[in-house]
Amino acid sequence: MRIAIVDDDEKQRKALREYVERYSGEKGLDIVCAEFDSGLNFSSDYNEPFDIILLDIEMPHMDGLTAAQHVRKTDEEAEIIFITHMAQYAIKGYEVNALDFMVKPVTYFDLSVKLNRAMRTLPQRSPVKLDVAGGGTQILSLKDIHYVEGSNQYVVYHTLDREYKVHTSLRAAEEKLGKSFVRCNNSFIVNLSHVSSIVGNDVYVGKVPLPISRARKKDFVCSVNRFFGGL
């Protein structure tokens, strides 16, 4: 895993690196850090993609928002976490699909919470190959799959605006998907990253309600809480 630390303040870069190394040790992760002292150096040297970018907003020559715009031209997947003195600056982060922001001075607890959130999204980048019923092959990123539905001898993969029907079993589909996909009943597997709420015995995947079976409700709710509460 590769993490970029972009900040013109050497003391801040050192503190962030120490926090990342501490996090890496606690989680047993292999993390490689790269430091950049300006947004200009970072964006102009952006050859190999990073998984996570810790990006200061207020920097001379090129601010973090502008640097992020340059990065997004070639890398739409990196998780960007802005660092700022003033929270209102971070609102513009939505324009570059930033994951989150932190207000200085950053503490280890602040960073670990944000990294936990970023870690949950990383496995979602993995592609899955579908042999679509009727012929043809479709490659989907896991993050684009909202839920999977078992229907007779077929499985239907639901994305935001399309459905892909595959001749397979729900169990076989389940084995293809990551740990962020959990069954809410015997017929549906839900991508937890798209869960918007749980109301009564229904889980809302975006605006779509799916029933949670009585037998699976306790484990399913626990899975949702773990997913959104931390690693």
31-67 per-position pLDDT tens digit: 999 999 999 999 987 888 899 999 999 999 999 999 9
Is the model's pLDDT at 7 over the cut of 90? Answer: yes
Residue 123 banded pLDDT, cuts 50, 70, 90: low
pTM reported for the whole predicted model: 0.63
Each residue's pLDDT tens digit, 160-176: 999 999 999 999 999 88
- Report pLDDT for 204: 97
Give the mean model confidence (pLDDT) for residues 129-145. Answer: 91
- Helix (H), strand (E), coil (C) string for the chain: CEEEEECCCHHHHHHHHHHHHHHHHHHCCCCEEEEECCHHHHHHCCCCCCCEEEEECCCCCCCHHHHHHHHHCCCCCCEEEEEECCHHHHHHHHHHCCCEEEECCCCHHHHHHHHHHHHHHHHHHCEEEEEECCCCEEEEEHHHCCEEEEECCEEEEECCCCEEEECCCHHHHHHHCCCCEEECCCCEEEEHHHEEEEECCEEEECCEEEECCHHHHHHHHHHHHHHHHCC
